[in-house]
Structure 1
Amino acid sequence: MEPENDCAWKPKQGMTFDSEQCVYDFYNTYGGTLGFSIRRDFCRKNKINNQFICRLLVCNKEGFRKGDKRDPLSKNPRAETRTGCEARLYVKLDEGTGKYVVTDFKEKHNHDLVSPECAYMLPSQRKISTTQAIELDLAAQSGLRLGQSFELMGREAGGRQCLGFTKLDLNSWVGKLLDNEEQITNMFWADAQMIMDYAQFGDVVTFDTTYKLNKEHRPFASFVGFNHHRETVIFGAALLYDETAESFVWLFQNFLEAMSGKAPKTLFTDQDAAMAKAIPIVMPDTSHCLCTWHLMQNALKHVNCLFQDNGVKGVLNKFFFDIEDTNQWKLEWAEMLDKYDAHEKHLLKLTFAVKEKWGWPYVRSTWAAGMSTTQLSESFNAFLKDYIRSDFNLNEFFMHFERVLYKKRYKELEAGYALCQR
């Protein structure tokens, strides 16, 4: 943000303060608003009454850190966080009035400032009130881990970041499909943050379904991608009655409606026929790619015995990642079938029939942001199982699913903050 010259919260030469602490508090509030941390630097005191005569406050990236005395023996040297920033505020005591007067103010920084969402992570902005400290002590005495205590306090405040800054928008998009008896069969959900994340990072999406996350063993489906920090971001979630093409058509339609009609450029799924049927109906311009990891797992399960000399990976990897020419690809596939007498293997027939969705010469020009698998979805599902129990009802499921989002988003904020400190 660009501060206006007449803003009351911006320091100016000649501004007066009642005490050194008032100076610090004012400059720290200013730093938190813009997105930088401050620290106390030079000061001079009256030797008789120990009163401050002058005080210099600087950006915490001022100067450069001295060499680590442990070097070169240190295995994990501290990252350099200072940039020689010259932003500062200098005050002197006016002995006539007893007030501190700003005599020097430099506002320009030589580094990126932290976004408002991450400002509460800045060292000088981190504050724990007496009440919060007591709550943490009581939680520790009750056996709660520190992370659980912070989660609880964050929920009380409306979000962990609200302990230092602002509140998340909790507006949600919810789609429901009811049967003839007005019972929910399919349910799709996306909140405001998911929709905003998708608008920025939704060009490449992985879609996957998994079971055993609810007592009815209904499929849980997730739309997942990654952001500019390569952190996993969730674009939407659903509980489905079944995995038919009709259910997937309904789900994809609701997903696009929530996302203002924007379809992903590339969608990764496993080798599911119902998904494959639904995708071109709802998203005809989206490139549908198959997860190479799932294809390899199927091959290991069903045809591993054919390739005992080189192994499945040794034989199939080149078709996934190496051969760039279409004719050469087809020729070597035919040679592979001849060599291992595998022409009648059903799995290989099915896999070849959808070669345009996974074969390297067919997909290498598809925009995929470095993805070739649905491992993002797989890892997210594994992470989800740490929070979700199979005996949860629908309300409990989504309540604890929000905990997962809460954790993921906090990691994203941490990654953004860490990037600003390099």
Structure 2
Amino acid sequence: MATIDTELECLKELDWQPRCGMKFESEQLAYEFYNINGRKIGFSIRKDTFGKNRRTGEISSRIFVGSKEGSRSKHKHDVLTIKPREETRTGCGAQMGIKIDRNKNKFYVNHFVEMHNHHFVRQECTHMLPSQRKIYVTQAIEVDLARESGISLKSSYELLGRQADGRDSLGYTKRDQKNYLRSKRQNKLAYGEACCVLKYFYDQTLKTPSFYMLSN
């Protein structure tokens, strides 16, 4: 992440305005740059379609769009839904596309559309836009400690919000905290299963001399 931060510092002189021909060391750096542009203006972004190198499987192109691009799928407008979610997409056409320059092994902006068809979020609220919300390392430690102490999700979120002088100052929502804990639990389970499989194979090699396993 330090490398990305350093690269972004070098791009400050460009006032965070995307321009065709701009070059980036990686797809992630391009995303971070466009996300900063979104924060400064007042809109959220997301990753959209991409192209891959058939031989290596690496990303060769990507389009970043505003979160209000497109429209909600028809099946999400089920008439049986008691409390349908508010429509958030407006068909906004704002986007930034990047493509790999194979000679220089860098991504460059090959097209940029600045046109928006919606209102922007006020600057004092942009930190709570979906693409801006994040749980930092120090915050993750506090979330983990609360979980290990048996504090419920709702109570720990309220507690951390008070410590930060208000939930809006946390920079993430209760759902973000819930998703973080779920992802961590899933990763832990996946790692645990892998260890169990390896232990099984190891035990078999001790019990049965003819049993063997291949490892990379």
- Normalised to the residue count of structure 1, the TM-score between the two structures is 0.36
2:61 paired residue number: 54
Instruction: Write the mapping of 1:28-177 to structure 2, written as runs, cut at 5 A.
Output: 28-68=35-75, 71-164=78-171
Paired letter, 1:68: H
What percentage of residue pairs aligned between the two structures are identical? 50
C-alpha deviation, 1:159, in angstroms? 4.1
- Which residue in 2 is equivalent to 1:18? 25
Write the letter of the residue equivalent to 2:99: K
Distance in 1 between residues matched to 2:154 and 2:94, nearest whole Å: 35
**SS of residue in 1 equivalent to 2:108:** strand
Q: Distance in 2 between matches of 1:120 and 1:22?
A: 19
* Alignment-derived partner of residue 3 in structure 2: none
CA distance in 2, matches of 1:87, 1:22: 19
* Cα gap change, 1:69 to 1:80, in 2 (>3 Å): closer
Q: CA deviation at 1:38?
A: 0.5
Q: Structure 1 residues 45, 115: CA separation in 2 closer, same or farther (over 3 Å shift)?
A: same
Q: Which has the greater radius of gyration?
A: 1
Alignment partner, residue 188 of structure 2: none
Secondary structure at the counterpart of residue 78 of structure 2: coil
Partner secondary structure for residue 74 of structure 2: coil
Contact 1:117 1:161 (8 Å CA) reproduced: no
Taking only aligned residues, the RMSD between alpha carbons, in angstroms, comes to 2.1
Q: How far is 1:82 from its partner?
A: 0.4
Q: Deviations over 1:18-67 (max 9, x none)?
A: 01111111111111221111111110010211221110000010011111
Alignment of 1:237-386 (within 5 A): none
Measured in 2, the distance between the counterparts of 1:51 and 1:64 equals 29
Change (3 A) 1:147 1:33: farther
How many angstroms does 1:69 deviate by? 5.1
Distance 2:79 2:28 in 1: 40
Q: Which runs of 5+ in 2 are unaligned?
A: 1-12, 173-216
Q: Which amino acid in 2 is paired with 1:105?
A: F
- The TM-score with structure 2 as length reference comes to 0.67
Question: What is residue 202 of structure 1 aligned with on the other side?
Answer: none
1:124 alignment partner, SS class: coil
Q: Distance in 2 between matches of 1:68 and 1:134?
A: 39
CA distance in 2, matches of 1:69, 1:85: 19
User: Hey, what's the Cα distance between the residues in 2 that align with 1:70 and 1:142?
Assistant: 41
Q: Cα 1:105–1:122, aligned 2, differ >3 Å: closer, same or farther?
A: same
